Structure formats: C-alpha cells, structure tokens
C-alpha cells in the first residue's frame, strides 16, 4: 500500500496540472493573477487598467483534412503545407506579442477563413471534432501546446469553439451540444485558469446548427458556465457578434463578458454607438466589453477604433488579414501565416500597444 500511494498522487498531479496564470473579472475589467491588467496605467486621460488588448490569430491549430483543398495553403519556400510548422512558428511569436503589451489573443478550434475573407461554401476541413462531436487528437495536441505557452507567459487565450464556415458540419443541435460539452470538459481537465471561452465567432441568424444563432446561443453559454471542475472551478464564457447582430438580453445575463466585432463599421462613431447600445441592454449588469476582431488599421489615429474603444473603457483587438496581392509576410490570418513581426503594419500595431501600456 505504501508503494501505491505515491503512484496515485503522481497520477493525480498529472491529471490536474498546476496553472501559472489565472484570469478573473471585477466589474468591467480583467485581472491576471489577482491584479488588474496594466495596473495604474492611464493614457491620454483614459484608464487603461483592466483592459485586455488582443489580436485575432485564430489559425494557430489550422489543418485542412480535405485533400482537394489542402494544396491551397502551401508555404512559398517549401511548396508544402505543414500544420506542425504552423504551430511551432505561432509558439515562437507569442513572447514578442507579450513583450509589447498584448495580453490576449483569439484562437479558434475551427479557425477562421484561411483566405482572410471568403465567399461561398468553405470546402476545407479544419476542426477538432467529427460530426458526432468526438475529438481529433492532433488538433487537440496543437491547442494544448498553445494554451500551455500562454499560461507560461501570463497571457489570456480567447478560445473559440465554433466558426460559421465550419460549424455546419456538426449538422444538428445535439452534435453542437456534444462538442461543446467535450471541449469544455477538455479545457477544465487541462487545468488552465487563464482562458476566456468564445462559443462561436459572430453569432448571426444564418448560423448552422440553429443553437448557435443569437436567439439560442445563450443556451450554450449557460451550459459552459454551469459545467464545473473539482472544487467548483468553471470557465469564463461569452460569445461574439458581427456588425449586423446585437447581443440579446438573454446573452448578456448569462455571459461573463461580451465580444463585439468592428469590421464593417464606416466610422469609429458607429462602433461606439454599438458599444453603448450593448451596455444599455442590461444597464444593471456591469461586465467587460471586448472587441476581438476589427480589421481597421487606424490604430495610430487619434479618433481611430483603438483610441475610441479606450475612451469607452473597451478592450480592442486587431484582425490583420492578408489582402489580395500581398505577400507571405503580411497578415495574421490568411494561410500560410507568417507569425513573425514581419510587416510594417504588424510593427506599427505592436509599437502602438507598447506605447499605450507603457512598455
């Protein structure tokens, strides 16, 4: 018996790893390891403390299991696509983001459009579960490495479950619920305490399966919120909305935070109007508002999206997609991604964040 007890303790330790980074929420702000982010920092008269500047880098675990489309994503220097190279280079880039003051990033189990923006049916197959919701080990291993590194660095991954270009493969609400439960349990069993969950990217009325639409997505948010690990620990959870969809009152009531996207707004004023309208849905409930996708590059403008969000005490996140005609060095989304700080656009964004947070 005395030989069995140490073995049992070893197994328990392996099953419940000790997290280095914990994210929590107080009012409309975020804390890391019990301290407000950017503690005491003020920029141009606006409070920075409690914000969570972030970037959209959803392709960290990307692979394409459709042999007919996989050749679209080959690296220019090798003529081959390599999901392992993709995740290795992602991991190597993370310390640079953190060094400049970026504390969070969005990575999605189903990625996003590897074309930056896509039109028509998305035929590539990039997601970590089969139609019945069972998990694919290679995808989960890549995600684990990203989450482990974020934990080590003191960063907060915004982990997306579903993306509208791939979620239809689940076919039914029942499969979406099963996948939600499996991903939630996997994250809890992993022991990470630095995660924010985004149920789906841009909940909208056309989502498939229907449970991911704005009028029902609160069901999945509540499901994640109510799933507990040993000791009562749970995941912080919300979901995101595009320009033309507003969060519902039900979503606001069950979410720990709300995610909005800035793509498509013709001015910062329109984005600010949506932020205020969102907060007005349930004015008695104060929770953080984050922008975790905005494709505008006006972060140096005094009235740009970044500056306007700071004035509203809203965290801002940049979406850098590679435009047609741009080379491999541009963008953080179009596959293959060059995760290095390889363009003037990337360098300007990181320098601006460093200035704002005082790094």
Domain boundaries, the chain: 43-357
Question: What is the pLDDT at residue 142?
Answer: 98
Strands 156-163 and 196-201: parallel
Q: pLDDT value at position 184?
A: 98
For the domain covering 43-357, report its CATH number. 3.20.20.80
CA neighbours within 13 Å on the CB side: how many for 13? 6
Residue 143, phi then psi, degrees to nearest 5: -65, -40
Cβ contacts of 247 within 8 Å, gap of 6 or more: 214, 241, 255, 258, 278, 281
**Residue 304 CB: number of other CB atoms within 10 A?**
18
In the three-class reduction of DSSP (H, G, I as helix; E, B as strand; rest coil), residue 199 is classed as strand
**What is d(CA 25, CA 32) in angstroms, rounded to the nearest whole number?**
9
Instruction: Give the 3-state secondary structure of residue 317.
Output: strand
pLDDT of residue 10: 37
CA distance 339 to 330: 9
Work out the number of other CB atoms within 10 angstroms of the CB of residue 102. Answer: 24
In terms of Cα–Cα distance, which of 145, 35, 38, 133 is closest to 84?
A: 145
As beta bridge partners, residue 162 has: 200
Taking each helix axis from N to C end, the angle separating 217-225 and 173-189, rounded to the nearest 10 degrees, works out to 30
For residue 148, the model assigns a pLDDT of: 98
Q: What is the pLDDT of residue 18?
A: 73
DSSP helix/strand/coil, 168: helix
pLDDT at residue number 270: 96
Q: Which residues of the chain have pLDDT under 50?
A: 1-16
The strand pair at 29-32 and 23-26 is best described as antiparallel
Q: Collect all residues with Cβ–Cβ distance below 8 Å to 339 and sequence separation of at least 6.
A: 57, 89, 90, 92, 93, 332
Bin 111: left if φ > 0, else alpha if -120 < ψ < 50, else beta.
left
pLDDT recorded at residue 17: 60
């Amino acid at each position: 018996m005395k030989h069995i007890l140490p073995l049992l303790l070893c197994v328990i330790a392996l099953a419940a790893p000790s997290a280095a980074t914990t994210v929590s929420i107080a009012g409309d702000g975020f804390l890391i390891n019990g301290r407000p982010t950017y503690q005491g920092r003020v920029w141009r008269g606006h409070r920075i403390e409690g914000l969570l500047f972030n970037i959209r880098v959803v392709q960290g675990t990307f692979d394409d299991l459709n042999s007919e489309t996989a050749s679209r994503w080959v690296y220019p220097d090798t003529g081959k696509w390599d999901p392992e190279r993709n995740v290795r280079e992602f991991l190597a880039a993370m310390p640079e983001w953190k060094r400049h003051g970026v504390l969070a990033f969005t990575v999605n189990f189903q990625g996003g459009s590897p074309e930056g923006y896509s039109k028509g049916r998305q035929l590539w197959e990039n997601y970590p579960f089969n139609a019945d919701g069972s998990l694919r080990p290679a995808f989960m291993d890549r995600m684990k490495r990203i989450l482990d590194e974020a934990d080590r660095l003191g960063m907060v991954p915004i982990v997306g479950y579903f993306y509208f270009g791939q979620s239809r493969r689940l076919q039914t609400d029942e499969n979406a619920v099963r996948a939600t439960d499996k991903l939630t349990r996997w994250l809890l069993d992993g022991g990470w305490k630095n995660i924010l969950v985004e149920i789906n990217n841009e909940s909208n009325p056309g989502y498939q399966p229907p449970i991911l639409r704005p009028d029902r997505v609160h069901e999945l948010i509540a499901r994640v919120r109510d799933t507990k690990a040993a000791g009562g620990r749970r995941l912080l959870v919300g979901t995101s909305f595009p320009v033309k969809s507003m969060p519902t009152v039900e979503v606001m009531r069950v979410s720990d935070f709300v995610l909005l996207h800035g793509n498509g707004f013709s001015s910062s004023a329109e984005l600010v109007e949506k932020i205020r309208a969102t907060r007005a849905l349930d004015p008695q409930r104060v929770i953080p508002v984050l922008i975790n996708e905005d494709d505008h590059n006006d972060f140096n403008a005094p009235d740009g999206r970044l500056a306007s969000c700071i004035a509203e005490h809203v965290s801002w996140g940049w979406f850098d997609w590679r435009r047609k005609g741009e080379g491999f060095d541009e963008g953080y989304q179009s596959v293959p991604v060059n995760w290095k700080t390889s363009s003037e656009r990337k360098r300007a964004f990181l320098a601006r964040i460093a200035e704002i947070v005082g790094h």
